[in-house]
Structure 1
Amino acid sequence: MLIAHISDFHVFSSQPETRQVRLDIADVARRVVQDLANFTPALDAIAFTGDLTDGGSQEDYALLKEILSRLQVPVFMVPGNHDKRRTLRAAFADTLPFEDGPFLNYETRTAGLRVLALDTLIEGRGEGALAPESLAWLAGRLTRATPEPTLVLLHHPPFPSGMASLDNAALTEGRDELAAMVREYPERLIILAGHIHRPYQSIWNGAYCSVGGSPAFQVELDLEADRHEPPCISQPYAYYVYRIDREGEFAVHTRFVSLDR
């Protein structure tokens, strides 16, 4: 199976809320989506790890749905800190099996893969949290035997990038509890996140983990950034393509899309 990992589009219908977001992000997002649609052989699914929009309005999600409409495969999404639960649920309740209750967690399967989607949003805040209810939900599902590899999606990465100013605004609550679960179930677990606006990969508590980049704006690699945020940088957008077999073995390929014409 082939799974693409994208993140942090920050599309907006009127004005961006984040000053760094490029004003032509809707057109750029269409270019990325067209590249996904044209990928050969055809993708089986796409994981979209949050900050789908920049403001979370009904109009923002209507624009996002129009942009994604070119895709003929499932798109599994989780909310980021710029999304809004109520409007996201309303926009995608017809395609995503959200659990009842306050959080947008869900479990689904596709092409021999189990997907566990986690809601780490703290509305009005940049950092993320896994509430006790979400941790209990995840624990219940990870204890169930399954023959398929498991893909865990969340916006705020629990695994550090090494850029302290960004890591301090990532997953700040529930990280230790999640780490304990991962240590118990690492061998067939793939964890995908966003939020950092720079793609990177990691092994965390025995599991493979990855952060997707952002076409809205990208940050420079700055491993000495402890008291300041790294500056933005202009470079092609990179998304990952995972080739995963039913035994859980996989290869990761990087696909580049030019953001400027």
Structure 2
Amino acid sequence: MHQETRLLIGQISDTHIRPKGQRYHGVADSNRMLAQAIAHLQGLDRRPDLVLLTGDLVDKGHPDEYAMARELLAELAIPCLVVPGNHDHRDAFRAAFADHAWLPAAGPLHFCVDTHPVRIVALDSTVPGAHHGAIDEAGLDWLHTTLAADRAKPTLVVLHHPPFASGIPYMDGYALRAPERLAQVIGAFDNVERVLCGHVHRLMLRRWAGTVVCSCPSTTTEIALRLQPDARPASFMAPPACMLHLWSAADGMVSHLSTIGDFEGPFDFA
């Protein structure tokens, strides 16, 4: 019997790795929480075929944080692709992942991996020295050329900053600038299954540019959902989570939230 091609992609984000023995903001044991996220993905009843890390891999961009991240990621027995975020340092990031041939040797860390049933097109939305995101005209030209190379194959566009306002005022100050230009490029292609991002430490969904944008929760903390214009920044030690994106030729892509931790069950009902 013919077995349908299926691809399961795990997504983790905003891990904020610290040097060994240090905590994220002195509160969250982000190193331990990444280890738990890796164990969670590898313990699923169907192990992902690929893992995407969508930015803020480390917290300060220091080489010792990247060394810690590589030590933790050595336990991940699944191919992974890593995209930088605003807490990453581009050159230190590039040096830490020098063995990953998909990363360019110079300039922004845009890349395309086309070895799976779903093509992965990643954008470096970071602005060195700043926390907001932006993609310059050269990056948008690269994206258009890359997407135009195959207008039929299912494609994911991956970047750290969501291309829309979240409604959380203290996050939207660090949003992606000029997202309408990115929308013009992506909206010209009808084979973009999802735009995947991180940054906001929350799951958010929005229909945008002819596709669906999905942000991934953090493995460390949850940024508080405070919507008043004068809201003060806040975070919670909420249950960490990741995303699972299941693609099949018959059904397209469905995205699931997967909470990380030990919970009561399983019970024999559904």
Instruction: Provide the TM-score with structure 2 as the length reference.
Output: 0.87
Q: Tell me whether 1:126 sits opposite 2:136 in the alignment.
A: no
Matched, 1:144 2:158: no
Correspondence for 2:255 among 243, 252, 255:
252
Post-superposition offset of 1:147: 3.7
SS of equivalent to 2:177: strand
Alpha-carbon separation, structure 1, partners of 2:167 and 2:255: 21
Supply the distance in 1 between the matched residues of 2:131 and 2:150 (Cα, whole angstroms).
Answer: 35
Matched, 1:199 2:203: yes
| Aligned with 1:217 (options 211, 214, 221) | 221
Letter in 2 for 1:163: I
Aligned length: 257
In structure 2, relative to structure 1, the CA distance for the partners of 1:96 and 1:82 (3 Å cut) is farther
SS at match of 1:171: coil
- Name the CA distance, whole Å, in 1 between partners of 2:32 and 2:198: 21
Native 8 Å contact 2:103 2:111 kept in 1: yes
Please point out which of 233, 238, 259 is paired with 2:236: 233
Question: What is the CA-CA distance between 1:201 and the residue it aligns to?
Answer: 1.5
1:168 to 153, 173, 182: 173
C-alpha deviation, 1:257, in angstroms: 1.0
Which residue identity does 2:45 align to in structure 1?
A: T
Match of 2:9 in 1: 3
Match of 2:58 in 1: 53
Q: Which moved more, 1:6-15 or 1:192-201?
A: 6-15
Task: Work out the CA distance in 1 between the residues paired with 2:262 and 2:206.
Answer: 26
Deviates most, 176-185 or 248-257 = 248-257
Q: CA deviation at 1:99?
A: 2.4
Using the size of structure 1 for normalisation, the TM-score is: 0.90
What letter matches 2:18 in structure 1? F
| 1:168-220 Cα deviation digits (max 9, x unpaired) | 311014x1210111221144331111111112111112211111111222112
User: Are 1:153 and 2:154 matched, yes or no?
Assistant: no
- The secondary structure found in structure 1 opposite 2:107 is coil
**Bigger radius of gyration, 1 or 2?**
2
Q: Which runs of 5+ in 1 are unaligned?
A: none
Q: Percent identity?
A: 30
Structure 1 pair 90–80 and aligned structure 2 pair: CA distance change class (3 A)? same
Are 1:156 and 1:194, in contact at CA under 8 Å, matched by a contact in 2?
yes
3-state SS of 1:172 partner: coil
Q: CA deviation at 1:222?
A: 2.2
